[in-house]
Amino acid sequence: MKTAVVVFPGSNCDRDLMVALELVTGQAPIPLWHDSNELPEMLDLIALPGGFSHGDYLRSGAIAARAQIMREVMSAAGRGTPVMGICNGFQVLTESGLLPGALMRNAGLDFVCRDVRLEVVNTQTPFTSTYAQGEHITLPVAHHDGNFQADRETLDRLEQQGQIAFRYAEEVNGSARNIAGILNDRRNVLGLMPHPERVVEPAHGGTDGRRMFESLLNVLA
């Protein structure tokens, strides 16, 4: 499985994500610098990591979403290549328009950094097929702007079309309808605030995140 991790100035989870992907796929991911204007051929996954791209200036993810590489990521997503954005990567995906809605300041105004329980809402996706429908898993979050908001029509549509991948099973940041992760309508683009790459081996305190990457491996291998 050939994967790539986009690196923006201020990304800080890119290494963890690359280590996790290599652990699961057995193949080192290709790092892609934000101002490159071409993608390697035949990628099975493009991943956007967490961090504070461009210092979170203007809005979290706003400047990264207009980076040169994002034009390529958007056209790859349009061709059906799986794309996943974690934390700041999710913010980049909403800012780019690949995913609907926006991630706003946490309702409690605090930076939230802890393990949270999540409900797996949709397992019919390349990212979630190793989970059971309705299963509760535990992943860490670490964010200040994770409060997912969209207008009511968009939220209804996300629910009706099975585009909600994960919900928080507890109050975390004020997100509308407890949304923790969403998909595009083709279900090949996933954005989520929690960090699967931080729980991929027992020494991390859990392996619930590893299964997200294993799902991709099962689908694509």
Partner 1 sequence: MKAHVTVSLKPGVLDPQGRAIHHALEGLGFGQVSDVRVGKVIELDVADGTTVAQIEEMARKLLANTVIENFRVDLG
Q: Which residues pair with 201 in a beta bridge?
A: 206
Shortest distance, CB of residue 70 to partner 1, whole angstroms? 12
Per the residue annotation, which of 13, 34, 54, 87 is the catalytic one? 87
The nearer residue to partner 1, 66 or 117, going by C-beta atoms, is: 66
Q: In whole angstroms, what is the distance from residue 36 CA to residue 160 CA?
A: 37
The question of whether 153 is a catalytic residue gets the answer no
The question of whether 197 is a catalytic residue gets the answer yes
Per the residue annotation, which of 54, 143, 195, 214 is the catalytic one? 195
The nearer residue to partner 1, 118 or 150, going by C-beta atoms, is: 150
Shortest distance, CB of residue 136 to partner 1, whole angstroms? 27
The nearer residue to partner 1, 179 or 217, going by C-beta atoms, is: 179
Asked if 37 contacts 69 with a C-beta cutoff of 8 angstroms, the reply is yes
The nearer residue to partner 1, 63 or 137, going by C-beta atoms, is: 63
Asked if 89 contacts 83 with a C-beta cutoff of 8 angstroms, the reply is no
Shortest distance, CB of residue 98 to partner 1, whole angstroms? 13
Element (H, E) at 82: none
Shortest distance, CB of residue 107 to partner 1, whole angstroms? 5
Asked if 2 contacts 46 with a C-beta cutoff of 8 angstroms, the reply is no
- Residues near partner 1, by CB under 8 A: 58-59, 62-63, 66, 94-95, 100-102, 104-109, 147, 149-150, 174
Q: Which strands make up the sheet holding 164-168, listed edge to edge?
A: 30-33, 3-7, 45-48, 83-86, 189-192, 179-183, 164-168, 112-120, 136-143
Q: Distance from first CA to last CA of the chain, Å, rounded?
A: 6
Per the residue annotation, which of 13, 119, 143, 197 is the catalytic one? 197
The question of whether 87 is a catalytic residue gets the answer yes
- Known catalytic residues are 87, 195, 197
